Amino acid sequence: MTAIETPGLRAVDYADLRGWEIDDPRPLFSAMAACLAHLERSKPYRTGALGLSADDLRPLLAAASLAEIADAAAARRFFETHCIPFRILPADGRAGLVTAFYEPEVAVSDRPESGYHHPFYRRPADLVDLDETNRPPGLDASYAFGRQTAGGIEAYPDRRAIDQGCLAGQGLEIAWAKSKVDVFFAHVQGAARLRYPDGRMRRITYAAKAGHPFSAIGRLLIERGAIDAATVSMQSIRRWLAENPAKVNEVLWHNRSYIFFREAEVADADLGPIAAAKVPLVAGRALAVDRLIHTFGFPFFIRSDSLTHLDGGRPFARLMLALDTGSAIVGAARGDIFTGSGDAAGELAGTVRNEAEFYILIPTAAAVRFGG
């Protein structure tokens, strides 16, 4: 069974948050309002191992909905008034790590035709959610999904089996892409905008996954000596795959994880997809976190001295909101920054892999439980 990390927390002052004094957290207020609206109409976010609940979060969201925020200084004062910052101290003592993700745009057709052969699939009917009440013996606790059969629940087919056609003929296809690699990276990102030949644009976003653990193909290529660890990025991986077409299947199938999608309209092109927290992602301010540890909707301040290309050469220092998760996001001081949609956002996201300091802002009433 996979153990869940229990991190330490140390209360700090806002003066300890290097870069806080110049940050402009105003974009968080619309996302906080969306989180509050979701909580009022639906079930609460699941409480992570850290112990912070949606009930701990609600007063902050409610106060934000009533706040008059005239400028960046007023936005910072709001959080200074309502929250206490805590440095996140991973149990393993390692430094925090940030990567980044984006919403790719993929050329597709709504039928399999010349040049379009690689499907995006909806969630299959025989895919079932797993928990401690129905997980079969021997299937690791990390498996959140399985396959319902007449004989019981078993592990779902993996990427290789699905690519080789085990779901064909079930009418699950949303659209077909030209490139298997484009489909794979849409799986990694968990969402995509689909551009049809007639100019239509639709959005697909995460619905479920086959359940197998995520295995990074970049790490595989580094271990094989195909890519230098110092220069590995989404761009370098894509370049290697383009230069080695005969090895594409073997490398992609190393990552047995497979993502299923649901369709959505592009209601507001300036907002990102609706992700795990059930609200639209905000470019540059949405953070994917380990949902086994953290609870959606909480603010995190991220500082990375080495991450400079997202802020015009200045070290990254921003208040963000935990709005998403991902198979590769494991650990208390581990985050994935949403950079936006389209190719430009992909260029920003593709090279982010930087050490970072992680701080969580805990509403004052809840902070007393953690020594705040």
Answer for the pair 54, 39: CB distance below 8 angstroms, yes or no: yes
Dist. CA 72–CA 96, nearest whole Å: 27
Number of helical (H) and strand (E) elements in the chain, helices listed first: 10, 17
Q: What angle do CA 217, 292, 147 make, to 5 degrees?
A: 65
How far apart, in whole angstroms, are the C-alpha atoms of residue 189 and residue 324?
Answer: 11
* The two three-digit tokens of residue 74, written as one number: 């007023």
Q: Give CA 354 to chain center in angstroms.
A: 16
Q: Which amino acid is at 54?
A: A
| pLDDT of the residue at 1 | 37
In angstroms, the CA 321 to CA 32 distance is 8
Starting at the edge strand found earlier in the chain, the sheet holding 152-154 runs 127-129, 145-149, 152-154
Q: In whole angstroms, what is the distance from residue 104 CA to residue 185 CA?
A: 8
Cross-strand partners of 103: 341
User: What is the C-alpha to C-alpha distance for residues 148 and 139, in angstroms, rounded to an integer?
Assistant: 14
Mean pLDDT, rounded, of the chain: 93
What pLDDT is stored for residue 6 in this prediction? 64
Q: Please check the confidence at residue 39 and state whether its pLDDT lies above 50.
A: yes
Q: 8-100+270-370 domain in CATH 2.40.40.10?
A: yes
How large is the average pLDDT for residues 44-67?
96
Q: Which residue has the higher pLDDT, 159 or 271?
A: 159
Domain locations in the chain?
8-100+270-370, 103-264
pLDDT category of residue 3 using cuts at 50, 70 and 90:
low
pLDDT, tens digit (0-9, with 9 covering 90-100), for 317-369 = 999 999 999 878 999 999 999 999 988 999 999 889 999 999 999 999 999 99
Q: Cα 4–96–237 angle (5° rounding)?
A: 95
Please report the pLDDT score of residue 91 as a whole number.
Answer: 80
pLDDT at residue 2, rounded to an integer: 45
Q: How far apart are CA 264 and CA 41, in angstroms?
A: 20
SS3 track for 153-215: EECCCCHHHHHCCCCCCCCCEEEEECCHHHHHHHHHHCEEEEECCCCCEEEEEEEEECCCCCC
User: Is 335 strand, coil or helix?
Assistant: strand
Give 88's pLDDT tier (boundaries 50, 70, 90). Answer: very high
SS3 111: coil
Among candidate residues 265, 319, 234, the one with its CA nearest the CA of residue 60: 319
- For the stretch 97-155, pLDDT in tens is 999 999 999 999 999 988 999 999 999 999 999 988 999 998 988 898 999 999 999 99
- Which tens digits make up the pLDDT trace of 168-181? 999 999 999 999 99
Architecture of domain 103-264: Beta Barrel (2.40)
Tokens matching residue 204: 């697909």
